[in-house]
């Protein structure tokens, strides 16, 4: 299928630092939330109208778009606050709203008729009839359910107006329930996943307790490997972007508003390189494929894109794989020295990797380590301390400095 427009790389922004990381490392658009109506209530978010204005203004300076999430399933008492939410979104200049609830959709069409609307994956869009119905209601983009295969996505694309855009998640955490509509957290903890407060009970280790054997716990095992029966692997489609584009996808979405600025920068950087390569008819660069394992992640899978059997669970445990620690962020390069803000401890002589936007990582040695007064030191061991190392190569401000985990 011929792509009618250049596909969009859409990255998460949980706060201003992560927003800058997404923009600096190649996102075409970002999605972010506020305290209310957000499926990531635990993220720092952009609470005030002033913070939202600042975020949108910054993105627009980069020539990038901002999509504001209001993708919860709100209860009665929340509905009266939505008109004010809409007004502030319009005043800030947000480029689109991401909605899941039909009542909010109707309100948005009435009170903000010029605002672009995207319907969230929480809506559970799995067929072309739903896409067409939403298009008829003024929706510009459908964020398809994660349970669809590539073949099903292509089938939807073939039967809906060319003007309606399709968005899919390509990387990040998967949910064990249908399109995130889970009651397990609300039932066990009182924290409603559908209103942004998921306690992630799918990651817990489960046992059975027999009523007459108090204190004796018996494992609940789906296989011999372990007892984490709901624990999904993470999604990673970096090596399959051309197939997504061939299926007619317009926007490739990275999950992770609760993830670190380092995670957002590295994953966005890798997918930027892979997407540019796919658009040129080339495979993803090898360095980009390696980068997705340099962030904290669960084991990867390809989700439902190639059938249900590939949407694998991780039964042994719910731990993350972590290969690197961020040790500093570059402030500037000047006269053969790289000036840094420390984030985690490192030592003089350590082998470090520096990742700049649009480039593969470069290995350097932490030679000539000095504190902010220019005094030689053996270790940078104070969080956010200013320090520098000798470095012949200039790296831009904001580049990430990391150290392999030993």
CA angle 315, 193, 270 (to 5 degrees): 65
Model pLDDT, residue 182: 65
Model pLDDT, residue 181: 62
Residue ranges and CATH numbers for the domains of the chain are 8-177+231-310 (3.20.20.70), 324-404 (2.40.30.10)
Higher pLDDT, 4 or 252: 252
pLDDT tens string 106-117: 999 999 999 999
CA pair distance 338, 393, nearest whole angstrom: 8
- Tokens 């990391």 belong to residue: 402
pLDDT tens string 147-190: 999 999 999 999 999 999 999 999 998 876 656 666 666 656 77
Mean pLDDT computed over 64-87: 94
Tokens at residue 90, please? Answer: 């319009």
Tokens at residue 275, please? Answer: 């997407």
Burial class (CB in 10 A: 0-12, 13-18, 19+), 280: exposed
Which H or E element spans position 136? helix 128-136
φ, ψ at 71 (rounded to 5°): -110, 20
pLDDT tens string 304-331: 999 876 666 564 555 667 889 999 999 9
φ, ψ at 314 (rounded to 5°): -110, 105
Under the banding of pLDDT at 50, 70 and 90, the label for residue 2 is: very low
CA pair distance 274, 242, nearest whole angstrom: 9
CA pair distance 105, 116, nearest whole angstrom: 11
The single-letter DSSP state of residue 203 is G
Higher pLDDT, 100 or 204: 100
* Whether the model pTM is above 0.85: yes
Instruction: Give SS3 for 37.
Output: coil
The residue among 25, 2, 12 whose CA lies nearest residue 242 is 2
């Amino acid at each position: 299928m011929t792509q009618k427009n250049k596909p969009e790389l859409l990255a998460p922004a949980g706060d201003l630092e992560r927003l800058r990381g997404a923009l600096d490392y190649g996102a075409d658009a970002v999605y972010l939330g506020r305290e209310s109506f957000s499926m990531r209530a635990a993220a720092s978010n952009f609470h005030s109208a002033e913070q939202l204005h600042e975020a949108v203004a910054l993105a627009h300076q980069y020539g990038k778009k901002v999509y504001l999430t209001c993708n919860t399933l709100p209860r009665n008492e929340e509905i009266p606050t939505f008109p004010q939410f809409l007004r502030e979104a319009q005043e800030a200049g947000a480029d689109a709203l991401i909605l899941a609830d039909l009542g909010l959709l109707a309100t948005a069409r009435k009170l903000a008729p010029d605002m672009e609307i995207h319907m969230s994956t929480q809506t559970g869009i799995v067929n072309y009839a739903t896409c067409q119905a939403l298009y008829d209601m003024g929706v510009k983009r459908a964020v398809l359910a994660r349970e669809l295969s590539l073949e099903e996505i292509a089938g939807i694309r073939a039967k809906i107006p060319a003007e309606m855009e399709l968005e899919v998640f390509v990387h990040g955490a998967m949910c064990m329930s249908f399109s995130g509509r889970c009651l397990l957290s609300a039932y066990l903890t009182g924290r409603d996943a559908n209103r942004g407060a998921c306690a992630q009970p799918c990651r817990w280790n489960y046992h059975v307790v027999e009523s007459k054997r108090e204190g004796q716990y018996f494992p609940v095992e789906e296989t011999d490997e372990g007892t984490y029966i709901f624990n999904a692997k993470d999604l990673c489609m970096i090596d399959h972007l051309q197939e997504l584009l061939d299926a007619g996808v317009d926007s490739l979405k990275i999950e992770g508003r609760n993830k670190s600025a380092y995670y957002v920068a590295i994953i966005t950087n890798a997918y930027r390189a892979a997407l540019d390569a796919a658009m040129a008819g080339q495979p993803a660069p090898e360095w980009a494929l390696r980068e997705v394992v340099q962030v904290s992640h669960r084991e990867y899978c390809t989700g439902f894109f190639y059938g249900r059997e590939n949407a694998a669970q991780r039964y042994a445990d719910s731990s993350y794989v972590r290969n690197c620690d961020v040790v500093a962020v570059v402030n500037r390069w000047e006269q053969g020295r790289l000036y840094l803000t420390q984030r985690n401890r490192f030592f003089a002589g350590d082998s470090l990797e520096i990742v700049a936007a649009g480039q593969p990582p470069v290995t350097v040695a932490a030679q000539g380590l000095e504190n902010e007064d220019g005094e030689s030191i053996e270790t940078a061991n104070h969080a956010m301390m200013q320090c520098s190392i000798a470095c012949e190569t200039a790296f831009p401000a904001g580049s990430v400095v990391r150290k392999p985990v030993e």
